[in-house]
Every structure is written in structure tokens, then in C-alpha cells.
Amino acid sequence: MKIISYNVNGIRAAIQKGLIDWIKVVDPDIICIQETKAQLHQIPIIDFEEAGYRGYWFSAQKKGYSGVGILTKKKPDNIVYGMNIEKYDFEGRFIRLDYGEISFVSVYHPSGSSGDLRQAFKMQWLDDFQNYINDLKKTRPNLILSGDYNICHEAIDIHDPIRNAKSSGFLPEERNWMTGFLNSGFIDTFRHLNKEPDNYSWWSYRANARARNLGWRIDYHMISNSLEDKLKRALILPDAKHSDHCPVVVEMDL
């Protein structure tokens, strides 16, 4: 089973850059999408259906902002929109599909790069997200949490760890949260299988960063420890250029 996570930085813009044709070629079973920046009526549902996918979408109340979705070839047993926490659901950051004993989540963690208020919001989200997942695991222990976490965990995950040491997305408190999250029962699938540097999933539009591979690895498939024996392969697809992010892939025997 091939699962992709992709922050598309505006689904309508990504479609104009060939996203749907690319999906047809890569042919994943599930695609977790973040930052749709669209309301439901603005998403070309029929085009995705013609490509073989059902789409489930959870948009932000604010137009042109945030939003998550999941495209899947198989109808889920259950769909959960949001976390039932108003301030986060208002921003459209979480959607979950259940298939038997496995749950797939598309999640878009906040960025704190715009200033102190949003950084504080991000840190509160991280605490609340951890608590939410801790509770969810009691009834849904087999989780695949795919999305843009807006955090580089280790120095290997960022092109310039020294100069970015005080940058949102690589702050000590964010990195410590990530360590704690993994220790609570999750596996960073890519790093579990790949120890090589220079693998990134996001690049600034400035300074020709993508061509120079001056990137950050902030997009993840986190899986419950219980699913470790199902993990087969994990990779990043930097040649897909529909966004300032690129897709990340995990293949599992489910």
C-alpha cells in the first residue's frame, strides 16, 4: 500500500501545475493533503473521481487558508472531521479515515514563523495535539499520522542547523516536543529507514533554495510502533514540483 503526504500550498494552484496527471502516474492508494487553501465548492471533486479517488475535505473557515484532505481509492469505514477543538477546527487542520483497525490522518501543524503570537499558538497546539493523540490511541491504537509538522527534528533534517537554531521550525522546544512525541509510541518512517543527509521536503522560494537543495524536512509519516513490522519503504520525491513542498511516501504491507 502506497501512502503519500503532500502539502500542496493551494490545491487549485497545484492542479494548474499538473497535480492530477502526476497522481495518475504515481498511483498511490491514499494521498494525505495539507494546505488546500480552498473551500469545498472550489475543489474539482469530479476530476479526482475520474482519476480513481474519493475525496474527503476539511476546510478552514477563513477563505484561502489552511485546510486538509484525504484522497483514497477505497471507501473508509468512518470519517472524522477535525479534533472537536474549536480553535483548531476553525483552521481546518485534521481529518481522519478509519479502515478496520487502521486509522489514517492528514494533519497540518501550525507555523510559528509569522511572529510571537503564532509561535505561542503553535506550542499550545503541540501540547493539545499530543494529548489528543494520547486519548485517540486508547480506541484507535494503529495510527498513520501523515502531514506537515512544520518542525525539523534533528540537525540532519535542515540544511543549515547553526544559522537556523533560533528559527521557528527548528527551535529547541519544538525539537524536544518531536522527541517526546516519538517516544510516546511513534516512528518517523523516513528516518527509521534512511540515515542519509540532504533529504528535504520544503524549500524557501527565496535565494534559489530548491535548486541548491537548501531545504528543511518538515513533512512526515508517523506510524504507531505497533505498525513497525508493516513498514516496507519510505522516500521523498523532490522532483515533483507542484508546491514549495514535495511529496513524501511510505509503503506498508496493510
CB atoms within 10 A of CB 16: 10
The residue assigned the cell 481529518 is 95
Fill in the amino acid letter for 118.
Answer: R
Catalytic, out of 21, 148, 219, 244 = 148
Distances (CA, A) of 191 to 9, 15, 110, 154, 234: 24, 29, 22, 10, 8
Is 148 one of the annotated active-site residues of the chain? yes
Residue 251, SS3 per DSSP: strand
| 78-81, strands of its sheet edge to edge | 78-81, 94-99, 102-108, 142-148, 219-224, 186-188
Sign of CA dihedral 81, 35, 37, 21: negative
Q: Residues of 216-241 as b/e, b for ≥16 C-beta within 10 angstroms?
A: bbbbbbbbbeebeebbeebebebebe
Element (H, E) at 230: none
End-to-end CA distance of the chain: 6
Phi-psi region of 220 (alpha: psi -120 to 50; beta: other; left: phi over 0): beta
Residue 86 backbone dihedrals phi, psi, to 5 degrees: -55, -45
Tell me which residues are annotated as active site: 148
